[in-house]
Amino acid sequence: MIIESNYVSTLTFAAVNSEASFASTQKKGAQGIIDEITASKLRGCGGAGFPTGLKLTLMAKEKTHPKYVICNADEGEPGTFKDREILTNYAELVFTGMAIAAMAIGGAEKGILYLRAEYAFMKEHLVAVIAKCKVFTGFNIEIRSGAGAYVCGEETALIESLEGKRGEPRNRPPFPIQSGYLGQPSEVNNVETFAWITTIMSKGAAWFNAVGTVQSAGYKIFSISGDCKRPGVYEFSMGTTIAAMLNAVGGEGAQAVQMGGASGQTIFADQFSRKIAFEDASPGGSIMVFGPQRNMFDVAENFLEFFDEESCGQCTPCRKGNVQLLVAVRKIKAHLQGKEMCCKNKEQAHGCLERLYSLAETMQIASKCGLGQSSANAFLAITKHFADDIKCGGRK
Amino acid sequence: MTDIKVTINGQEVSVPAGTTILQAAKQLGVKIPTLCYHEDLCTSGSCRVCVIEVEGARTLQASCAYPITAPIVVHTNTPKVRNARANILQLLLSEHQGDCYTCKKNMNCELQTLAGSHGIDTFKFGHVSWENKDDEGNKKEPCFGESNAPIQFEREKCILCERCVRSCTQFQNIGVLGKCGRSNETHISTFKDLPLDEVNCINCGQCVNRCPTGALTERDDTDAVWSALEDPTKHVVIQTAPAPRAGIGECFGLTPGIPLTFQMNTAIRQLGFDKVFDTNFTADLTILEEGTELIIRLYKALVGKDASAKVPQFTSCSPGWIKYIEHFYPEMLGYLSSAKSPQQMFGAVIKTYYAKKFGIDPANIVSVALMPCTAKKFECDRPEMCDSGFKDVDYGLTTRELAKMIKESGMDLPKLPKSDFDDPFGSATGSGVIFAATGGVMEAAIRTVYELVTGKKIESIFEKANIIPIRGFEGVRYAELPITEVGAVPQIIAHLVPNWDWLEGATLKVAIAHGTANAKKVLDDIKAGGKFSECHFIEFMACPGGCLGGGGQPIPTSLEIRKQRARAIYDEDMAYAVRKSHENPAVLELYKEFLTDGPCGHKSHDLLHTSYTARGKYIR
């Protein structure tokens, strides 16, 4: 496919004045901010979709000080690059959003932006933007980086990394709201979430939730890549169908899309009428388009190689499960190509698949963090979609 | 705070907020299998064996790591839980070299037990064994350099529960072991992957005590001891420390706290040892040497105002503690008593006094020490420990190693007849026995020093000579003992101090720390000029609980097990006719016949005292 352009759609962020937003927000006070954000129905943009207003409410209720506001800019999910765009062009919205959150939760002494190690080139620019944002006196934002582990995008691993430890997820509960950075209440949000906070405080909750579905209000930014003519960063309103999205990016004729990065959902063409919304095709930050020429088992193998590399190695299901699935998908590939017949007949292949499904389910429900809980998703979707092919050894 | 109602498998219980699901289940008698969980250690929640279902939660929860903060309904035995647990066990088995017959931990392995109790009858996700260890996919580089250190590690048996890392880092505050690599390559390692004998490892063996599999074990010296026993030209003697006798029964299926001192003597003789001695003899000797040194030190410091006499004096019985201070506080070595540990004193006495007395060529004596300790293996290998002209102690065996030798010989230890220790060292005193428990050295020292200084019986202030205030398991303990009146200086040390007037009205301040994490607190306090800098004498033990919690003791360990062993030790103390070191007739005989210039005299200095090495934190 010939790429026509690397595209960036017009983002709402371009029209927001962060200084003006902050100035007007200051008058509303902590409860005013929480009410506005709650009314907007904004949900976390990092993937999990936790209601932002509720998180602020819970943080405000915590009595312990100091409190920290942490921006998760460890954009490590394969296929995700929207935060890079936001930080490059709209960083002041992000920092302002952090300051607004700090006000809402009853005062945070410090903000930390955890910058993906690979985005180190941006640091100078970000420091300059912070210096320009004079508005929030008494609230300092520091930029910190890890060593580049994917798992540090998981908020508790991120906090461990901030504390100078090996980046490994913590047990939850307690959640970062109760005991986060240095054991103190910590508000951890994605880059985009903070930018939306500033935007909503400027344009109002009613403007935001005027679009979207009942459970997923407003707009969302996507990194779209893969087999489409116009890959890039897009803003869609929630509830947009996958088909409409594909039309917009020039991805018509795709056999599948991967929603929310390697750890997200694999959705095949028969379900392209589904809506991009938390309650349906969960949005995450990225969409990968797979054209009809792609071997989806290559995709599964590629994702599992990634997870096998990036599992922190702490909990058993993730440490040993990903490698099992990786070996399995390679065997399936060889099996489909008729190279290596590990299963002699349909029954054996069926038993083999059932064993792997059972393992995948264990990984999803028994892993310690989101990494292990979601790394089997693509494997499950793809092998189930092509189950008949696998059982017949590719001979239909 | 009010208690919170929890329902587990239909049964209700109210627990204080913060109680884990695992603890609540225990209260109800609901058993949840665990693996990475260890009650001595901080929570990990990494193995996922203890997962259970909490109603309303999308995923299963690790019961050991889930603090209850709101009413919840829990199910520990659902198809979902059973399936996940079986898969998790299978994954653990897929990375564990499960050659159980040939494993030192055979029949004492938590993974083996879990596999047995979960109906594992096939390897669903593969299996590592010595046969396929070198196949692609199973080959693993050793985590860190192999060495002859007392602690041995086999990566293929490690299942990454991190108990060793938590023992080393959190429990003991040393931090030699850590994790390296990610995902399937994750492994336990040391700084720069150096072998354990080239890093700051103090050989305490607390990691070995808590390893659920056979990944961490002690260096096995039993083959060398068997060879010596089989060699007719060798005169093989063994000294047995007090802690192993309180623990060894556990290796034979007894509940903790049943001492088998005299059955063990019989077993040792049947193994072929020529003599069996009681380390308590040199424990008493240590009290006289270390106590005298304390008196000299205090006299120099308090009367002579001699700044080179460092007070408080630190005990020096625990080889793990010695290596700890050499590595981490080398600038404080001056506080250490120069007295050797009882093991090394005995080694020196056996190859000199005993050899001469019985006309045996010391070159033909093989001196073995039964210890609760892995660090004792390092101690007897120290190059300076050759004051007899030979290696003072040839081999240090752990409690577990002796139990193994007894089992190999087909003996059922608890059923053996009893027999006593051999002369000329006889059975020692109750003071020697309590060396095995934290606070024991201090208690023995107080019994002796108080009587030597005041001329009064210790029973006049502590009923039955039991100094209860310094006993127990609190990490750091502190006590004061006022010396209201003084007596005459006893004959044995009359040449060292003219009188006790300088101690009249003084208050003896002592402290006890066990576990190096607690030792660190005390040392830092001394450096900062805190309360402990005003002490006169401090007992340090590397292992939590003292020797009875040593790295060479039976596995498993827990606070309750250590308490039971301590009870056995204190009961044994009460059974002795003589309970004070300075009243030990054999010790007094030794000073009369052999160490004729008395405690801390020239001869004892040559044989019974040592010096230390400022090692510092190792960086190659």
Tens of pLDDT along A359-373?
Answer: 999 999 999 999 999
CB contact under 8 A, B45 and A355: no
pLDDT digits (tens, 9 = 90+) for B272-299: 999 999 999 999 999 999 999 999 999 9
Q: Is residue B185 within 8 Å of A322, Cβ to Cβ?
A: no
Is B384 considered catalytic here? yes
What's the rounded Cα separation, in Å, for the pair B169 and B549? 17
- Checking if the pLDDT of B469 tops 90, the result is yes
Question: What number is the average pLDDT over the span A305-331?
Answer: 95
Are B48 and A323 a contacting pair at CB < 8 A? no
- Residue B183 has its nearest CB partner, among A171, A311, A361, at A311
Q: What is the rounded average pLDDT for all residues in chain A?
A: 93
Mean pLDDT, residues A225-238: 95
**A269 and A294 Cβ atoms separated by less than 8 Å:** no
- Quote the pLDDT of residue B138: 52
Contact A361 B183 (CB under 8 A): no
Q: Do B186 and A365 touch (CB under 8 A)?
A: no
pLDDT recorded at residue A342? 67
Q: What domains can be seen in chain B, in order of their start residue?
A: 4-93 (3.10.20.740), 95-123+135-218 (3.30.70.20), 282-342+428-608 (3.40.950.10)
Whole-prediction pTM: 0.94
* Closest CA relative to residue A200, chosen from A188, A210, A186, A214: A210
Residue B186's beta-bridge partner residues? none
Contact yes or no for B184 and A320 at CB 8 A: yes
Whether residue B134 is predicted with pLDDT greater than 60 in this model: the reply is no
What percentage of chain B exceeds 70 in pLDDT? 97
pLDDT above 90: residue A279 = yes
User: Shortest Cα distance from B620 to chain A (angstroms)?
Assistant: 23
Residues of A in contact with B124 (CB under 8 A): 355
**B47 touching chain A per CB within 8 A:** yes
**Nearest CA-CA distance, residue B464 and chain A, Å:** 49
Looking at the predicted structure, is the pLDDT value of residue A341 above 80? no
**Among B368-377, B422-431, B437-446, B558-567, where is mean pLDDT lowest?**
B422-431
Q: Do A173 and B43 touch (CB under 8 A)?
A: no
Distance from the Cα of residue B43 to its chain's centroid: 23
The per-residue pLDDT for range A191-220, each reduced to its tens digit, is 999 999 999 999 999 999 999 999 999 999
Lowest mean pLDDT among A356-365, B402-411, B421-430: B421-430
Pairwise CA distance, residues B260 & B250, whole Å: 10
Tell me if residue B55 is catalytic.
Answer: no
DSSP-derived letter for residue A376 is T
Residue B520 has pLDDT above 90, yes or no: yes
Residues A138-166 have a mean pLDDT of 94
| For range B107-126, the mean pLDDT | 94
Instruction: Find the catalytic residue in B110, B162, B289, B379.
Output: B379
Instruction: Answer whether residue B433 shows pLDDT above 90.
Output: yes
The pLDDT of residue A134 is above 70:
no
Cα distances (angstroms) measured from residue B250 to each of B105, B257, B261, B279: 14, 8, 13, 21
DSSP bridge pairs for A275: A241
pLDDT of residue B178 exceeding 80, the answer is: yes
Q: Nearest by CB to A365, from B60, B159, B183: name it.
A: B60
Using 50, 70 and 90 to split pLDDT, how confident is the model at B363? very high
Q: Around Cβ B331, how many Cβ atoms within 10 Å?
A: 11
Note the pLDDT of residue A1: 64
- Residue B179 contacts residue B605 (beta carbons within 8 Å): no
Please tell me the predicted confidence (pLDDT) of residue A391.
79
CB proximity list for A17: less than 8 A, separation 6 or greater: A202
Q: Is the pLDDT of residue B139 over 80?
A: no
The helix/strand/coil state of B267 is helix
Return the number of other C-beta atoms located less than 10 Å from residue B227's C-beta. 11
Six-digit token string for B318:
């625990």
Which residue of the set B317, B373, B535, B543 is catalytic?
B317
pLDDT tens for each residue of A371-383: 999 999 999 999 9
Q: Catalytic site residue B376?
A: yes
* pLDDT (0 to 100) of residue B129: 80
Q: Across the interface, do A313 and B182 touch by the CB < 8 Å criterion?
A: yes
Q: Is A166 on the interface with B (CB under 8 A)?
A: yes
Residue B290 appears among annotated catalytic residues: yes
Contact yes or no for A316 and B47 at CB 8 A? yes
For residue A163, report the phi and psi dihedrals to the nearest 5 degrees: -80, 5
> Could you tell me which of A232, A287, A230, A233 has the C-alpha nearest to residue A257?
A287
**Alpha-carbon gap: A363 to the closest alpha carbon of chain B (Å):** 8
| B308-358 pLDDT, tens digit each | 999 999 999 999 999 999 999 999 999 999 999 999 999 999 999 999 999
Does residue A321 belong to the interface with chain B, where contact is any CB pair within 8 Å?
Answer: yes
The Cα B207–Cα B216 span in angstroms is: 7
Of A319, A322, A365, the CB nearest to B186: A319
CA dist., res. B337 & res. B358, Å (int): 31
Q: In Å, how far is A224's CA from the nearest CA of chain B? A: 28
List the domains of chain A with CATH numbers.
10-209 (3.40.50.11540), 219-290 (3.10.20.600), 296-391 (1.20.1440.230)
Q: Would residue B337 show up in a list of annotated catalytic residues for this protein?
A: yes
Q: Give the type of residue at A159.
A: I
Q: Which of A61, A172, A320 to mutate to test the interface with B (most CBs of B within 10 A)?
A: A320
Phi and psi, residue B47, nearest 5°: -75, -30
Measured between CB atoms, does A310 come within 8 Å of chain B?
yes
Residue B132 has pLDDT above 70, yes or no: no
Between chains, do A308 and B184 touch, taking CB under 8 Å as contact?
yes
Which range, of A18-27, A232-241, B247-256, averages the lowest pLDDT?
A18-27
Res. B136: pLDDT tops 60: no
Mean pLDDT score, B539-563: 97
Q: Kindly report, residue by residue over B475-519, the tens digit of the pLDDT.
A: 999 999 999 999 999 988 998 999 999 999 999 999 999 999 999
Annotated catalytic residue B293: yes
Q: Which residue of A has its CA nearest to B80?
A: A362
Mean pLDDT throughout A236-248?
A: 96
CB half-sphere exposure, B40, CA atoms < 13 A: 30
Chain B hits for A173, Cβ within 8 Å: 66-67, 69
ipTM (interface predicted TM)? 0.94
How far is Cα A132 from Cα A141, in angstroms, rounded to an integer? 12
Beta-bridge partner residues of B277: B239
Mean pLDDT of the region B396-406: 98
Q: Note the pLDDT of residue B427.
A: 67
Give yes or no for B60 touching A (CB within 8 A): yes
Cβ-count burial of B230 within 10 angstroms (0-12 exposed, 13-18 middle, 19+ buried)?
A: exposed
pLDDT for residue B617 = 87
Degrees to nearest 5, angle at CA B544 with B543 and B546: 65
Q: Which of B156, B162, B250, B293 is catalytic?
A: B293
How large is the greatest C-alpha to C-alpha distance in chain A, in angstroms? 72
For residue B218, what is the DSSP state? Answer: E
Convert the pLDDT of each residue in A68-112 to its tens digit.
999 999 999 999 999 999 999 999 999 999 999 999 999 888 999
